[in-house]
Structure 1
Amino acid sequence: MSKIQEFNELHSAKELLFIGNAWDLLSALTLEKVGFKAIGTTSWGIANSLGYADGELIDFDRHLAIIKTIANNVKIPVSADIEAGYGQDQKTILENVLRTADVGVAGINIEDYLKKQKGLRNLKEHCNLLAEMRTMLDNHGYKNFYINARTDTYFQLQNPFMETMNRAKAFVESGASGIFIPGLTDDEEIREITLNIDAPINLLSLPELTDCNKLKELGVKRFSFGNALSDKIISYLNMNAYQLQEKQNTAFLYEN
């Protein structure tokens, strides 16, 4: 079975797919070792590891090199977070998607939030992009490559529910494999969306949204923690670095 087939099957299994978000090879290998069944890269975590903020500020080649290193060194499927595609035009975005597929990942996250200007990409334009993406991937031997279409409606709009529903349905009709809705936390809205969208729904961990078992009952098929783990690791690193400088003593590093 190919990684693409395996990854698709994880989304149709009885159990919710709890995906581990990695930002470098060590984090990816650790997540694989403890039993996560798939890795999703976190653009935020990768950016931080290179000294940048999130938002396509890294050269795409540098970003893709880390994704490739992860994909080449774990045995489980990898999905690549490529934000909005690292391009200002459709041609560049499609080229970057194909380059990402070529490094051995089983899928991508692609979002509708514009990086160089405010707001969401026009619905018709984004649907056209997804349709072209699906055709291109199929034509290059990547049939069923997992396109996780992210919509940032809950981060960008005042009353996002209906627009989210409209976008999700349109994205699926345009070739998306699944829909990623970060910021969606209300139980009733989650249930309504999972019942009415004919594709797996992926949600993002937030302080008020943490329980895989509860989300499974609401119909969610995939759950990710994004940059939360990388942020926690960075916080721990900062705390220990401050202690070293303050104490001028390394003894605490050897305590259990």
Structure 2
Amino acid sequence: MSHTSIEALAEKANTLLELHKPGDPVVLPTVWDAWSAALAVDAGFTALTVGSHPVADSIGKPDNEGMSFDDLLTRVAQITDKVDVPVSVDIESGYGLPAEELIAGLLRVGAVGLNIEDTVHSEEKRLRSSGEHAALVGALRAAADSAGVHVVINARTDLFLRQDGDEADRVDRAIARMAEAAEAGADSLYPVGRHDPDTLRRLTSELPLPVNAIALPQEDDPASFGPLGVGRISFGPFLQAALAVRAQEILGRWS
């Protein structure tokens, strides 16, 4: 599958990185197979992200590392064979693999970005400490540097998703955690969850890197994120879910 040279991958990675502009966010539609990827590129999008949840659903396995890294790479290779745009990949919490193996696998199938989360699914879903998560981000950055590609690292925290600890200082703790990941070599920061405008504005103004917001593609106003300082938008499982609702309506006419 090593159909793309390191030079070409390096160029794609730099293109992806340059698209991240706080206040003028890049929209990376979350895709799960070659069909959805082609659909997004045909609609005019210039970069994509591959979501673990929709990929897992599409191959009949549970999210949260119910599929293997090889399952994911097989699907990513099909996507990068079909479309010629930068592709980022949600690698969940890393499948228990060393950073070098994760980076080598992604580059082998032509991916130039990744999401890495701080919930460790293989260890009873424990939350990594902020230092541990930053160390993993640093290891991924070092492995990418060694490979000669500035793989775009989107460091995710699940504090909001898990409703971890006291709500009163959750935003403070998320900011501290993501600032540590930024220091370790992340390129963008993903406080996954749906945030009210004030919280989102606080996150984007206090964090040193572009912030990734999640959008409901069929409901949210695309113009609402830029003024809040967002630098990147993705859809998580919500594009696939919206298509599923429409498909059920169509199929319901015949069942």
TM-score normalised to the size of structure 1? Answer: 0.87
DSSP 3-state at the match of 1:51: coil
Runs of at least 5 residues in structure 2 that lack an aligned partner in the other structure: 1-7
Match of 1:141 in 2: 148
Q: Distance in 1 between matches of 2:143 and 2:18?
A: 22
Q: Residues 148 and 178 of structure 1 are in contact (CA less than 8 Å); yes or no, is this contact kept in structure 2? A: yes
Q: Distance in 2 between matches of 1:184 and 1:239?
A: 27
Q: Which of 165, 170, 174 does residue 175 from structure 2 map onto?
A: 165
Match of 2:4 in 1: none
Q: Residues 191 and 213 of structure 2 are in contact (CA less than 8 Å); yes or no, is this contact kept in structure 1? A: yes
DSSP 3-state at the match of 1:97: helix
Q: Residues 41 and 78 of structure 1 are in contact (CA less than 8 Å); yes or no, is this contact kept in structure 2? A: yes
Deviation, 1:204, is: 0.8
Q: Distance in 1 between matches of 2:118 and 2:66?
A: 17
Which protein shows a greater Rg?
1
DSSP 3-state at the match of 2:225: helix
Q: Residues 93 and 121 of structure 2 are in contact (CA less than 8 Å); yes or no, is this contact kept in structure 1? A: yes
Q: Residues 23 and 227 of structure 2 are in contact (CA less than 8 Å); yes or no, is this contact kept in structure 1? A: no
Q: Distance in 1 between matches of 2:107 and 2:177?
A: 24
Please state if 1:202 is matched with 2:212. Answer: yes
Deviation, 1:118, is: 3.4
Q: Which of 20, 39, 52 does residue 43 from structure 1 map onto?
A: 52
Instruction: Name the amino acid aligned to 2:71.
Output: R
Please state if 1:82 is matched with 2:82. Answer: no
Q: Distance in 2 between matches of 1:14 and 1:188?
A: 15
Runs of at least 5 residues in structure 1 that lack an aligned partner in the other structure: 246-256
Question: CA offsets per residue over residues 52-89 of structure 1, 9 Å max, x none?
Answer: 221111122121111111122212211111111111xx
Instruction: Name the amino acid aligned to 1:178.
Output: S
Match of 1:253 in 2: none
User: How many residue pairs are counted as aligned between the two chains?
Assistant: 241
Deviation, 1:232, is: 2.1
RMSD in angstroms over aligned alpha carbons?
A: 2.1
Please state if 1:99 is matched with 2:105. Answer: yes
Question: CA offsets per residue over residues 227-253 of structure 1, 9 Å max, x none?
Answer: 1111122233344444323xxxxxxxx
Q: Which has the higher contact order (CA 8 A, sep 6+)?
A: 2
Q: Distance in 2 between matches of 1:238 and 1:211?
A: 25
Match of 1:191 in 2: 201
Q: Distance in 2 between matches of 1:219 and 1:177?
A: 16
Q: Distance in 1 between matches of 2:254 and 2:56?
A: 26
Q: Which of 125, 136, 152 does residue 118 from structure 1 map onto?
A: 125
Identity of aligned residues (%): 31
Instruction: Name the amino acid aligned to 2:109.
Output: V
Please state if 1:29 is matched with 2:29. Answer: no
DSSP 3-state at the match of 1:84: coil
Please state if 1:155 is matched with 2:161. Answer: yes
